[in-house]
């Protein structure tokens, strides 16, 4: 019972964080008009969040292992609550940037702490299901966030941020009262804990997983960042069409994480899930440049997220299984490489988009092919335990 309560709180934390991120989407135009800021500044605001998470994630991961999971989660939630409150109160661009920087810091603290906590309270057999649920909680938060944000914005453009701040603070208090610092698991034969963490990072068992995570996330970020612009410019999609496509794809992706991920992990293993998910993603990304009818575009969009949304939890599960009592460090590096891809992918995609609408998707497919090739050099489980 205690384990189920703990997992529910942890999943709620991830849901709330990404719900808060999603709340921003429908009210950004109002904030832009109110403060007379340009689209470029909005882009910089988004980048400041990702850059802060990128810089802090490795240090946050080590802090999670050193100071504990619970304290880092609560600290991250308090910072997140303050960042949302600050965005709601901010009347200048500088305050908005400070808010996004604090938001990136909170994400850097919370992500590795929650991942490590889940690893500590689950067995290897149950971990794939739990991480699949965590990924689904993230996806669901991003799905529901814009809808709730749009509804709350009817009461005022700043109301969504105040709501997110209040909910995050409530979850922080709940976590402080209910969560107990978990007993850390040490898996003999599957942990390299005796070595320096950065030396361990260079071992093939870790290195190839992180390289695949970086490159695949890089390609996916280039795809996702320009989906709205691509469908608007090429197919004439309305905001409603774009919302339906993104929401439908996210729902299918979340369902695949809940219904398919654990079964596939048991049947074919994490590395094979990554390989087949990349193959599916390559095919569907290229199909986006070929299809012309409305319903074919929707069909491709809905299904492309199946591949996208299985890659990261598969890599996370694999890393968690071999990390032993270095769960925080592995979670921090996971967040670091994903953030790096989320910063660089849209930048390169934007340059290519200005040249030709299809180029970001061709680029995404090429990058995914590269990551697929690297997966065949990825060490398997029996190679992990050689030493």
Query: What is the rounded CA–CA span in Å between residue 126 and residue 98?
Result: 39
36: exposed, middle or buried (C-beta count within 10 Å: 0-12, 13-18, 19+)? exposed
Helix (H/G/I), strand (E/B), else coil: 73: helix
pLDDT of residue 378: 78
Do the Cβ atoms of 280 and 310 come closer than 8 Å?
no
DSSP string, 240-262: HHHHHHHHHHHHHHHHHHHHTHH
pLDDT of residue 182: 83
All residues at 6 or more sequence positions from 386 whose CB lies less than 8 Å from its CB, including other chains: none
Query: What is the rounded CA–CA span in Å between residue 3 and residue 307?
Result: 30
pLDDT of residue 183: 78
Structure tokens at 53: 């998470």
Query: What is the rounded CA–CA span in Å between residue 123 and residue 111?
Result: 20
pLDDT of residue 361: 86
pLDDT < 50: residue spans in the chain: 188-194, 381-387
pLDDT of residue 186: 55
Q: pLDDT, tens digit, for every residue of 240-274?
A: 777 678 778 878 888 888 888 888 888 988 889 99
Query: What is the rounded CA–CA span in Å between residue 179 and residue 303?
Result: 37
pLDDT of residue 377: 81
Q: Which domains does the chain have, with CATH numbers?
A: 2-178 (1.20.1250.20), 197-384 (1.20.1250.20)
Structure tokens at 115: 């991942």
pLDDT of residue 77: 93
Query: What is the rounded CA–CA span in Å between residue 288 and residue 301?
Result: 8
Average pLDDT, the chain: 80
Q: What is the model's pTM? A: 0.70
């Amino acid at each position: 019972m205690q384990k189920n309560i703990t997992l529910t709180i942890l999943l709620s934390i991830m849901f709330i964080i990404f719900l808060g991120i999603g709340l921003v989407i429908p009210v950004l135009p109002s904030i832009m008009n109110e403060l007379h800021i340009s689209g470029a500044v909005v882009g910089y605001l988004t980048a400041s969040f990702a850059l802060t998470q990128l810089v802090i994630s490795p240090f946050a991961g080590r802090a999670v292992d050193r100071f504990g999971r619970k304290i880092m989660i609560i600290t991250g939630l308090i910072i997140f609550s303050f960042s949302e409150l600050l965005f709601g109160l901010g009347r200048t661009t500088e305050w908005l940037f400070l808010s996004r920087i604090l938001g990136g810091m909170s994400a850097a603290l919370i992500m590795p702490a929650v991942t490590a906590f889940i690893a500590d309270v689950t067995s290897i057999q149950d971990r794939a299901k739990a991480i699949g649920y965590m990924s689904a909680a993230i996806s669901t938060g991003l799905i529901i966030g814009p809808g709730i944000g749009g509804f709350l914005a009817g009461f005022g453009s700043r109301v969504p941020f105040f709501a997110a701040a209040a909910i995050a603070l409530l979850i922080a208090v709940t976590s402080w009262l209910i969560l107990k610092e978990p007993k850390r698991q040490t898996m003999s034969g599957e942990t390299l804990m005796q070595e320096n963490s950065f030396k361990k990072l260079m071992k093939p068992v870790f290195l190839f997983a992180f390289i695949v995570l970086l490159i695949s996330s890089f390609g996916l970020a280039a795809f996702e960042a320009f989906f709205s612009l691509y469908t608007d410019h090429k197919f004439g999609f309305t905001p409603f069409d774009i919302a339906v496509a993104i929401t439908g794809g996210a729902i299918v992706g979340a369902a695949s994480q809940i219904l398919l991920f654990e079964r596939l992990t048991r049947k074919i293993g994490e590395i094979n899930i990554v390989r087949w998910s990349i193959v599916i993603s390559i095919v569907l990304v290229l199909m986006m440049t070929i299809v012309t009818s409305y319903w074919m575009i929707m069909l491709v969009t809905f299904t492309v997220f199946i591949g996208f949304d299985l890659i990261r939890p598969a890599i996370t599960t694999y890393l968690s299984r071999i990390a032993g009592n270095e769960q925080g460090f592995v979670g921090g590096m996971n967040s670091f490489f994903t953030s790096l891809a989320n910063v660089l992918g849209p930048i390169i995609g934007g340059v290519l988009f200005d040249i030709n609408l299809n180029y970001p998707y061709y680029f995404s497919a090429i990058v995914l092919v590269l990551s697929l090739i690297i997966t065949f050099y990825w060490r398997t489980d029996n190679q992990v335990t050689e030493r």
